[in-house]
Amino acid sequence: MNSKFLTLMICLLMGTTALAGCLGGDDETETENNTIKIGLLSPSTGPIAVYAAGFEDAAAVAIADLNTAHPDSVFELVVADSGCDGTVAATAAQTLIDSGVIGIAGAACSGATLGAIAVAKEAGVPMVSYASTSPAVTLADDGGLLFRVVPSDAQQSVALAQVLMVMGATMNDGVGVLYMTNDYGSGLADNFEVAMGGDLCAKTGYDPTDFDASTLATAVADCDAVILMSYATDGAAIIEELATQEFEGDIFGGDGIADANFGNEFSDTDALDGVVATQPRPGVDSAVKTAFTTNYEAAGGDAAGIYTHETYDAVTIIGMAALADSTDMAASIAAVGVNFDGASGSHTFDANGDVLGTGYNVCLFTTEETVSFDCLVTWTAADGLAVDTTVPFDGPTIKIGLLTPATGPIAVYSAGFEAATTMMINALNLAWVGEVNFELVVADSGCDGTVAATAAQTLIDSGVVGIVGAACSGASLGAIAVAKEAGIPMISYASTSPALTDADDNGLLFRVVPSDMQQSNALADVVTASGANNATTAVLYMTNDYGAGLADNFNSSMGGELCAMVGYDPTDFDASTLATAVADCDSVVLMSYATDGAAIVEELATQGYTGSMFGADGIADAAFIAEFSDNSTLNGLVATKPNAGEAPMAALFDALWAMNGGPEGAIYTHEAADATMIIAMAAATTMMMQAEGNANFTIVDGINMMTAYEPFEGASGMHVFDANGDVLGSGYEVCSFDDEAGVTVFSCSATWTQEDGLADNAA
C-alpha cells in the first residue's frame, strides 16, 4: 500500500482535528516528502566568527545522526548568520522561519538570542540556544519558547571567582574586570562582582564594536589579575595590549574566549601564554558523548572547539521533539528535555527553559611552539575546583606528610588541621596542574611523643619529602628524633613549647607559631586586665612539654608567687582534686588540651566555683564546645591563640575556607596551610634546582630560601625563620566563650602584640 495513502487514512480515522496537522495547513513546516527543517543561528560574522565552523560542524553531525536513526524522515539544516548581534539575529530568525524551520538551534551570543526570540515567538517557533549564558535569558519575554542547554552565568561567575582566588591567589580588591556592555558581558561581570564580594580593583565596560584597547589595559594596570568578559576579537586585542603595556598579573576569561581557535585572533600568540578561561563542562562519558566525538572528528570538526557538544544536543532535541509531536513544539521540547541524555550531559529544562549543567572546565592556553589549549581542571557546584583525574598525568609526584592528632586529648581539632592541609594541597595542585602532583599522606600523632615517632617513621617509609606537624609539642619532639635521622624536615603548625627552640633536631625542625615565652606575656596581660594579680591567680597545667613550658613562663610573667600552681598528667588525672586545689583563688588559668580542659571546667562548676577562668591556645577553638555535656559551664571563659595579624593571605584563606565548608573558629588552620605551602614550594624548588645540576641542593635549603630574602607571606602572618627555625609571629587574639540565648558562641574581640599590648578590635 502507498505509504502516503496509509498516512492519510490514519489521519482520517483520527478525526478532522488531526487532519490539519497531517496535511500541514497554512504553517507547513513538514513537506510532502516528510522533510523536517531545523534552523541554526551561527555567528558566521562578528566577534566570535572564529568559532562558527565548530558550531556548524556539530549541527551537521546532529542532522546526519537524526537521519541515520530515523530513515522515514529527512532532516535538513538551514543555517543563517546571527552576526552575534540582536538586530542581525532577528532578521536571520525571520529568514529561517520563512524557510519553514520547525525550530531554531541558537543563537550563540546572548544578545543575538534575545533579539531572535522576539521574532521567533511571534511565529510560534521555539529556540534552543547552545551557548547563550546571560542571566537575562532566564526571564526573557519568550512566550515559553526559549530554551538553552547551557547553565546561566549566575553559576559561571561563582566558578570564575573560585578560579581567581585559587589559581590567581588574589581577593576582590586585586582583580580588575574588563567587560562588554552587552547582555553576556554585563550579566557575567555583575554576577562575578557579587561572587567576589564586591569592591573590585577595577570594573570597566566597553562596546565590543567600538573600543580602545590601550585605554582598557591602562584601567587595570595596577591590579594583580584581570578577567575578561569578552568575545574573541576584542579579547585578543585587549590581551595583546596588556602585553604591550607589560602587565605582569594573571589573565583570566569566561567562556567567550575558551576555545582553541581563540589563538587565531592574535598577531602575536606569545601574549596568550598562560591565559586561563572557563567553559561549560561536557557531561560524564557516555555512549552519546563518545559517538558524537567520534563522528564530529571524523567529519573534520575541531576537537577543542567550544560549545560543540551543546550545539549537537540543541539540534538533536529539536529533531526529537518534532518526531514526538510537531503540533506543539514547545511542549514537545520540554518533554524531550527531561533527563535528556546528550553529548553535553544529562539535561532537564526547568520552568524557564534553563538547565543546571554539569559544571565547568578550567582551561589553560600555552604557546611554546604552537598554541595549546588544555582543560585539566573542573569546577562543579557540589565539589568546587578539582584536578580532572580522567586526564592522564605522567609528571612527578611530591608526597608531603601530615602529623595530625586524630586520637588523644585534642582529637576534636584534628578535622580542622586535615581540612586546612587538604585544601592547600588541592590549591597547589590547581596552581601547578600539568607540572607537579602533590600528594598528602596523613598519620596519627596521638598528641604523644612515642606515637608520633612511630607515625613519623610510617610517613618517611611512604616517601614523604617533608612533614607538616605535629600539633602537640611533645609529639613534635618525639617525631623529630626519627625524622632527623632520615634527613626529613618538619614544620609544626601548633607546637608552641619553648623546648622546641633548642631541640636536638639537626636543623630540621621549624614552626610557624611563636614560642610560648611570648604567649605567657599575652596571657599575663589578659589576666591582669581582668583585675586579678599573681596572689589571686591559680594555674592548672599539664606536665608535658607544652603545659609545663607555658606554666613556667606564665608564672614568671605574673611575677611569681601565684595563688596555686598545680600540674597533672592529662592522661591520668582527677578533676575533682584539681578543682579543689584552686577553690580559694579568684582566677584559674588552664594550660590544658580539650578533653582534660573540659573535664576540669565542668568540675569547677560542680564545686560551685565562681571565679574567672582563662585558657591558652590549647582550648581556643570553637570545637572545644563539643567536649562539654553542659555548655553553660563554659560561659565567660577567655582564651588566647596566635593571631594572623595583617597576614597578606588571611582573607584569601578565609574565603576559600568558607567555600570549602571549613568550620568557623577552628584553631591553627591558617598555620597548617602555611606549613604545607612552605614544604611544597621548597620541595618543588629543590626538584628544579637538582634538575638544573645542583645535586647538593636539599629541601632544607629550599625551606630556608623561602624566608631568606623576604618574609614568607602566609595566611597566618609574615614569617621569617631564625637560626632555630622559630618565627616571631603577629601576636595573639583574645577570645571568649559566651552564652547567647542559650547557645555558646566562640568569638575573638581583642588582640595582643608585643609592641602595643592589649587592644580592643572595635576600637
Q: Where are the beta strands (DSSP E) in 112-236?
A: 127-129, 146-148, 175-180, 202-206, 225-229
* 74 pLDDT more than 90: yes
- Dist. CA 360–CA 375, nearest whole Å: 10
DSSP letters for 351-419: TTS------EEEEEEE-SSS-EEEEEEEEETTTEEEE-TTS---S-EEEEEEEE-SSSTTGGGHHHHHH
Cell readout for 117 is 526570540
What span, in angstroms and rounded, lies between the C-alpha atoms of 105 and 23? 25
Reference 713, options 658, 668, 760, 650; nearest CA is 650
* The predicted structure's pLDDT at residue 264: 94
Q: How far is the CA of 639 from the CAs of 420, 598, 733, in angstroms?
A: 22, 13, 8
What cell does 316 get? 538533536
pLDDT tens for each residue of 581-604: 999 999 999 999 999 999 999 999
For all residues of the chain together, what is the average pLDDT? Answer: 92
Between 148-152, 263-267, 285-289, the lowest mean confidence (pLDDT) is in 285-289
Query: How far is Cα 662 from Cα 66, in angstroms, rounded to an integer?
Result: 48
First to last CA, the chain: 94
Each residue's pLDDT tens digit, 295-350:
999 988 888 788 999 999 999 999 999 999 999 999 999 999 999 999 999 999 99
Q: Which helix (H) or strand (E) holds 156?
A: helix 153-167
Is the predicted pLDDT of residue 164 greater than 90, yes or no? Answer: yes
Mean pLDDT of 467-489: 98
Model confidence at 3: pLDDT above 50: no
pLDDT in tens, 12-28: 233 333 333 343 334 44
Mean pLDDT within 188-198: 95
**Predicted local confidence at residue 760, as pLDDT:** 85
What percent of the chain has a predicted confidence (pLDDT) above 70?
95
pLDDT confidence of residue 15: 36
For position 4, what pLDDT does the model report? 34
User: What's the confidence (pLDDT) of residue 33?
Assistant: 56
Provide the sign of the torsion angle of the four alpha carbons 685, 691, 693, 696, taken in this order.
positive
Query: How do residues 752-761 score in pLDDT, each as one tens digit?
Result: 998 899 998 7
Q: Burial of 273 by CB count in 10 Å (0-12 exposed, 13-18 middle, 19+ buried)?
A: middle
Q: Is residue 101 pLDDT above 80, yes or no?
A: yes
Using one digit for the tens of pLDDT, what is the confidence trace for 487-540?
999 999 999 999 999 999 999 999 999 999 999 999 999 999 999 999 999 999
Please report which confidence band the pLDDT of residue 763 belongs to, taking 50, 70 and 90 as the band edges. low
Q: What's the whole-number mean pLDDT along residues 540-569?
A: 96
Domains within the chain, CATH numbers bracketed: 21-152+284-347 (3.40.50.2300), 153-283+360-385 (3.40.50.2300), 398-514+649-719 (3.40.50.2300), 516-646+732-760 (3.40.50.2300)
pLDDT (0 to 100) of residue 751? 95
pLDDT level of residue 645 (50, 70, 90 thresholds): confident
- Does pTM top 0.85 for this prediction? no
Instruction: Say which DSSP state 135 is in.
Output: G
Put the strands of the sheet holding 612-615 in their side by side order: 564-568, 537-542, 587-591, 612-615, 638-642, 732-740, 743-753, 757-760
Which residue did the predictor score with more confidence, 84 or 381? 84
In 3D, which of 165, 164, 173, 216 has the Cα closest to residue 198? 173
Q: Give the span between the Cα atoms of 243 and 396, in whole angstroms.
A: 32
The predicted-structure confidence for 600-635, as pLDDT tens digits, reads as follows 999 999 999 999 999 999 999 999 999 999 999 999
Residues 280/151, Cβ–Cβ less than 8 Å: yes
- Please tell me the predicted confidence (pLDDT) of residue 8: 29
Residues in the chain, total: 763
Instruction: Flag whether pLDDT at 5 surpasses 60.
Output: no
pLDDT bucket at 283, cuts 50 / 70 / 90? confident
What are the tens digits of pLDDT across the range 440-459? 999 999 999 999 999 999 99
Q: Are 577 and 604 in contact (CB under 8 A)?
A: no
Tens digits of per-residue pLDDT, 666-704?
899 999 999 999 999 999 999 999 999 999 999 999 999
pLDDT at residue 582, rounded to an integer: 97
Extract the runs of DSSP E, i.e. beta strands, from 66-141. 74-81, 103-105, 127-129
Cell of 219: 584601567
| pLDDT (average), residues 371-388 | 92
